[in-house]
Amino acid sequence: MNDMMAGIFDWIRDDYKTYPARFIVEITAWILSIGCSVTMALTVPNPPLIILYPIFISQCVMYGWCAYTRKSFGMIANYGLLVTIDLVGLFRMWTH
pLDDT in tens, the chain (96 residues): 788 889 999 999 999 999 999 999 999 999 999 999 999 999 999 999 999 999 999 999 999 999 999 999 999 999 999 999 999 999 999 998
Round to the nearest angstrom and report the end-to-end CA distance of the chain.
54
The pLDDT assigned to 2 comes to: 86
Reduced to 3 states, what is the DSSP secondary structure of residue 47?
coil
The pLDDT assigned to 96 comes to: 86
9, 16, 50, 72 from 86: Cα distances, Å: 34, 29, 11, 21
The pLDDT assigned to 76 comes to: 96
Q: Is the peptide bond before 45 cis (omega within 30 degrees of 0)?
A: yes
Q: From start to end of the chain, where are the E strands?
A: none
The pLDDT assigned to 3 comes to: 87
